[in-house]
Structure 1
Amino acid sequence: MNNNASDNFEYISQLLTALTTESRANRQETDKIELLLKRVSKQCAISYESLGSEVTDETLKNYNKQNKPSKISRLVNENYDLIYQIEQQRYINSKVTLLIQNITEHFLSIKNFIKEQKYVREQDLDNFVYENFESQIVILESSIQKLDEKSNTSSSNLSCIIRQLQTTCREIDWSIIPRGTIEHKQLIKHLQELDENYGIKLVDDSTLESISTT
């Protein structure tokens, strides 16, 4: 059954490509028809706008009656809607994947900075780093893999990781950070980019301003 589902999805993917090509061709034909209508209106001394004037209710009713979509037409339209939704979901999934990858890179940089500067006191550094950063990165990487396999993601997991990192950052004694080093500048950069690009605040504004002062 899974194989059939995979084959069906592949077939739909091929239909998407064909639909895109057909849409471009239809657009070109529409432009040609519009040009012909303009020529006809000019030859008949009728304004082009009048050709598109509002029709009477009776005319519209007769037209709708004669052009009532058949069952096949409705199914085709429903399939087109489904194809559009699938294409839209693929686009969203690609953006979510990129977002998770970018956030993971920022988390890795912050983790490495904290590890190099040895901010954690009275704890085993390796256990602290693993519990608060590496395990979360494993979850993120697992989410990326599942997203590629199943074309979906869980925003709740990402929110949980962000909250844990915010709690960790609140427990750090930022006053002992060496100022003016390359690592210090990179830390500030990552904190600011997470805030500006993704709206993720690992520290509050007053703390960020304090640790940004050289």
Structure 2
Amino acid sequence: MIGFSLAGVRSVVALGAHPDDIEIAAGGLLLSLPAGVAVDYVLATGVPARQDEARSAAAAFLSQAAALRFHLHDLPDGRLPAHWNATKEIVEAAARLGKPDLVLAPSREDAHQDHRLLGQLASTAFRDSLVLHYEIPKWDGDLSRRNVYVPLTVEQGRRKVALLHEHFPSQKARDWWDDEMFLGLARVRGMECRAHYAEAYTVDKAVLTF
């Protein structure tokens, strides 16, 4: 198992189809980023109230020293494939912001059509950056084998869940939104990388430099 340190990451693009996608999938990674990191936070969908939740959550998950820029869009939830051109422009516009050290994007095999499209577009738009494709647990049961892990301490894992509850109150009524679901998956992924908790990602292509 080869380690990769987040300490050297200075710029991140975080792509989400919906408010809460990024935090559910990569909240622990956000908590682990170094102070001073520049983060471009991009959402494809979201009504104003949900976008407000996302703003609040992103600020809470990131260090106060982070340079955080929001790029929030309001395409129809669940209909991104029908708005392919607009969705591609959102991703391409994010890629034109610069060459980030790290890109967070949904899995290209995600069962949700909005997630899947963003993941597919990210792979082609960000050819010169490391793209971590994240996982989002859901009714469809599409969790699969991952090849990159971000270990989390017990404190980080529980902090992530506490922040999810605090900043996304609109989702609390969902039958899957609870500590057991979030921490259960984190515990399984932690076991897979010899940590207590972890988040898991997929990298399709990486370039080693010496």
Q: Normalized against structure 2, the TM-score is what?
A: 0.22
Larger radius of gyration: 1
Q: Normalized against structure 1, the TM-score is what?
A: 0.22
Q: Which is richer in strand? A: 2
